[in-house]
């Protein structure tokens, strides 16, 4: 228990220092800041993913994280805030957080768009108190090719994940282990 708390404290301090020194001061976003970031992220998503607008229009819900920061030196962590939209309207705000241990060095910023294609997947997500990717449900990461073409083999999965706009020194196309929790804004 003490070891787990110590690990969280060290990781939190390390991530905070790395993120603030690399991307500016990290602080909780307001509703308006999250909404603005979601709108800009969706615009970018529609430009970068050829069928993005179609997928969003058919979706039962979409979860958008405009800026997820990841940093690591052996121990790593990531954090971001976003919004869940149903029928084009924001219904809740969420954060995502993950920790990792292993060979890693660097800092990264990315945007995440998660599309719920089935009502049951969306309801399971909304009714949970803390939903963990890879444990509570599997998110099929869809890779984007040249000209916004998608890996169509995964398009029938109940939950699709898109990672766009990666900047920084780390390269990571996974959401495994990321925990999503509702926040008040």
pLDDT of residue 10: 44
Q: Measure CA 14 to chain center.
A: 20
Number of Cβ within a 10 Å radius of residue 175: 23
Q: Say if pTM beats, i.e. exceeds, 0.85.
A: no
Whole-angstrom Cα distance, residue 54 to residue 69? 28
Token pair of 109, please?
Answer: 């910023």
pLDDT of residue 77: 86
pLDDT of residue 92: 96
Q: What are φ and ψ of residue 167, in 5° steps?
A: -135, 140
Across the 185 residues of the chain, what is the mean pLDDT of every consecutive 10-residue run? 46 48 56 96 93 95 95 84 96 91 77 96 91 74 76 85 76 68 88
For residue 62, the enclosing domain spans 2-183
Query: How many domains, in total, are found in the chain?
Result: 1
Q: What are φ and ψ of residue 142, in 5° steps?
A: -100, 120
Looking only at the bridges linking them, the beta strands covering 140-141 and 159-168 are parallel
**E strands present in 51-147:** 61-86, 89-116, 131-132, 140-141
């Amino acid at each position: 228990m003490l070891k787990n708390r110590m690990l969280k404290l060290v990781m939190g301090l390390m991530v905070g220092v790395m993120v603030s020194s690399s991307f500016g001061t990290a602080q909780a976003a307001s509703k308006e800041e999250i909404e603005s970031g979601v709108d800009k992220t969706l615009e970018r998503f529609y430009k970068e993913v050829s069928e993005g607008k179609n997928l969003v229009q058919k979706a039962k819900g979409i979860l958008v994280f405009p800026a997820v920061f990841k940093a690591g030196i052996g121990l790593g962590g990531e954090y971001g805030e976003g919004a869940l939209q149903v029928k084009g309207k924001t219904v809740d705000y969420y954060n995502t957080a993950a920790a990792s241990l292993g060979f890693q060095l660097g800092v990264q910023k990315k945007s995440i768009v998660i599309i719920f294609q089935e009502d049951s997947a969306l309801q399971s997500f909304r009714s949970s108190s803390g939903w963990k990717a890879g444990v509570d449900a599997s998110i099929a990461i869809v890779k984007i090719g040249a000209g916004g073409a998608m890996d169509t083999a995964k398009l029938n999965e109940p939950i699709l994940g898109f990672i766009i706009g990666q900047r920084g020194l780390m390269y990571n196309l996974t959401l495994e282990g990321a925990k999503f929790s509702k926040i008040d804004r």
